[in-house]
Amino acid sequence: MKQLITLVYLLSSLLLSQWLAAATLPTPTPPPVSARSYIVMDYNSSKILAEKKADKRVEPASITKLMTAYVLFTEIKASRIQLSDQVLISKRARRMTGSRSFIEAGSRVSVDDLLRGMIIQSGNDATVALAEHAAGSEETFVSLMNQHAAQLGMTGSNFVNSTGLPDKQHYSTARDIAVLARALIREFPEFYPLYSEKKFTYNNITQHNRNLLLWRDSSVDGLKTGHTQSAGYCLVSSALRDNMRLITVVLGDKSENKRAVSSLALLNYGFRFFETRKLYAAGQSLKQIRVWKGDKEQLSVGLNRDLYLTLPRGSFKSLKVSVKLPSQQMAPVSKGQSLGTLNVSRDTLVLAEQPLIALSNVNEGGLWTRITDSVMLWFE
C-alpha cells in the first residue's frame, strides 16, 4: 500500500511538472507577414505583443483620416460643430483627386453624411469639406491635427493635409497610429460603430468599405484602410474576442488582399498566445490605512484607473502584488491624493506599477482628536 501511494505521488508530481512546463512554454515568434512595418497592441493594457519597424516613419496614406476623425469628433463632442450642420461644399473640396464621395460644389451636405463619406468611402472630397467647415481652411485644420497628435504623444508623426495624399513632410509610424486608434476607440465610443459599417450610399452611388476583414471575421469592427503607390497598402484593424480587444497596424503591404491576410494573421497570433485580465477596477478599495489626527481613522486607498495586464497565456498564476504606503499618514488627506504605489511583478520583473490614491477626503480632526492622536503616536 505504501509503495502504491509513493507511485501515485511520483506520477502526480511528474504530470504536474509537465503541465507547468507546458503552461509556461516560450511564446512563439509572430507570423511572417509581407508588410514593411506593423504593430500589435492590446487595447486595454497598451501592451505591445509584436512589432516590426514600428517606429519607422512612413507615408500613412488614408490612415491619416483617423487623425482627421479624432479632431472632428473632439469638435463635435465640444459642441463646436453639429452632426446636423449643413456644410457648403467648396470648389477645392470638389476637385480633390483619389477616393471620392462624389459631392457637388455649391451643394450643402450634413456633417453626418460627410463623416460617413470620409470613414466608409474614404472620400478625399468629404474629408476636405469637413476640415474647411471645422476650422475655416484645411491648413488651419492641419494645425489642429498636429496639436492633438502632440498631446497624444505621437512623436513620430507630422501631418500636412487632412486626406493622406503624398507629401515628403507627411508621415507617421505604426506605433503612433496604434496610439491614435486606441485613443479614438476609448474617447469616442459613440462614433466608433461608423468604422464597422460596410457600405454607404450618397448621390445615388453606393460604395463599400475597403476593409475586407469586416466580411472575413465577425470579431473585427474597424478601423481604416489606406493606399497610395508610394505608401503601399495599409490597414488599421481592431477586433474584440472574449472581452479582449486588439489593435493591429499594417503598413506598406503588397496588395489589398495581402494587408487583410497580414492583419488577420497578427490578430490571430495575439488572441491565441496572449490573454488580458483586469486585475483591479478604478475606485476599488484595495487597502484600509490608519489616518492620524483626522475626522475619521480609516481611509480606503485604490487606483485612479483600471489596471489591466496582458501576459502570455498561462502566466497569471505566478504574479505577486505588493503595495508601498507611508508608515504613518496624517490628516488632512484629499480625495485623489497619491499616497503610495501598487506593484505587480513576476519573479524579479515588475510588470505594472500604478499610484495608490485616497478614495475619499479625510479632514483635520478636532482639538481633542489631535491631542489624543499625538499622545498615541509617541508609542507607535
Digit-coded pLDDT (tens) for 159-192: 999 999 999 999 999 999 999 999 999 999 999 9
CA angle 26/27/28 to nearest 5° reads: 110
CA neighbor of 356 nearest in space, from 284, 278, 294, 276: 284
The C-alpha cell 504606503 sits at 325
Q: Are 301 and 287 in contact (CB under 8 A)?
A: yes
Q: Based on the domain organization, do 261 and 326 belong to the same domain?
A: no
Q: Is position 65 annotated as part of the catalytic site?
A: yes
Q: What is the CATH number of the domain that holds 262?
A: 3.40.710.10
Residue ending a domain, choose from 257, 277, 297:
277
Whether residue 273 is contained in a domain is answered as yes
Average pLDDT on 128-155 reads: 98
The predicted-structure confidence for 54-99, as pLDDT tens digits, reads as follows: 999 999 999 999 999 999 999 999 999 999 999 999 999 999 999 9
Residue 230 catalytic?
no
Residue 243 maps to a domain = yes
> Rounded mean pLDDT of the chain?
91
Q: Is residue 216 domain-resident?
A: yes
199 is catalytic: no
pLDDT in tens, 257-266: 999 999 999 9
Q: Strands 287-292 and 329-330: what pairing?
A: parallel
| Statement to judge: residues 315 and 265 lie in one domain | no
3-state secondary structure of 202: strand
Catalytic-labelled residue, pool 122, 162, 237, 262: 122
Residue 153 within any structural domain of the chain = yes
Enter the C-alpha cell of residue 258: 495581402
| Co-location of 221 and 261 in the same domain | yes
265 & 289 share domain = no
- pLDDT given at position 294: 83
Minimal CA–CA distance to 289: which of 280, 302, 279? Answer: 302
Do 260 and 352 lie in one domain? The reply is no
Active-site residue identified among 65, 157, 162, 262: 65
Last residue of a domain, one of 218, 244, 277: 277
Q: Mean pLDDT over residues 248-253, rounded? A: 98
Q: 120 lies in a domain?
A: yes
Cα distance between residue 248 and residue 30, in whole Å: 13
pLDDT in tens, 100-114: 999 999 999 999 999
Residues 228 and 314 in one domain: no
The phi and psi torsions of 46 (rounded to 5 degrees) equal 70, 10
Cα–Cα dist 64/92, whole Å: 19
Instruction: Using CA atoms of 359, 364, 369, 371 in order, give the dihedral in degrees to the nearest 10.
Output: 130
Same domain, 116 and 194: yes
277, 297, 329 - which closes a domain? 277
Instruction: Report how far residue 33's alpha carbon sits from residue 174's, in angstroms, rounded to the nearest whole number.
Output: 15
Query: Do 268 and 297 have their domain in common?
Result: no
Nearest by Cα to 44 from 307, 364, 280: 307
Report d(CA 85, CA 345) in Å as an integer.
51
- Is pLDDT of 14 > 60? no
Q: Within this chain, do residues 133 and 217 fall inside the same structural domain, yes or no?
A: yes
Is 7 a domain residue? no
Nearest to 274 by CA among 45, 16, 33: 45
CB 161 within 8 A of CB 64: yes
Instruction: Estimate the crossing angle of helix 174-187 against helix 64-77, to 10 degrees.
Output: 30
Catalytic residue among 37, 45, 52, 62: 62
Distance CA 122, CA 25 (A): 43
CA nearest 228: which of 97, 125, 138, 129? 97
Q: Are 270 and 40 in contact (CB under 8 A)?
A: yes
3-class SS of residue 263: helix
Whether 19 maps to a domain, the answer reads no
Give me the pLDDT at residue 328, please: 86
Of 254 and 8, which is predicted with more confidence? Answer: 254
Report which residue type is found at 174. Answer: A
The b-or-e profile of 17-44 (16+ CB within 10 A means b, else e) is eeeeeeeeeebeebeebbbbbbbbbbbb
Is residue 16 included in any domain, yes or no? no
Residues 103 and 169 placed together within one structural domain of the fold: yes
Return the SS3 of 192. helix
Exposed, middle or buried: residue 254 (CB in 10 Å: 0-12, 13-18, 19+)?
middle
> Where residue 326 sits, what CATH number does that domain have?
2.60.410.10
Confidence tier at 24 by pLDDT (50, 70, 90)? low
213 and 78 housed in the same domain: yes
pLDDT band for position 373 (cuts 50, 70, 90): low
What's the structural domain count of the chain? Answer: 2
Helix then strand then coil, in percent of the chain rounded to 5, is: 35, 30, 35
Asked if 177 and 220 sit in the same domain, the reply is: yes
Domain that holds residue 314: 281-378
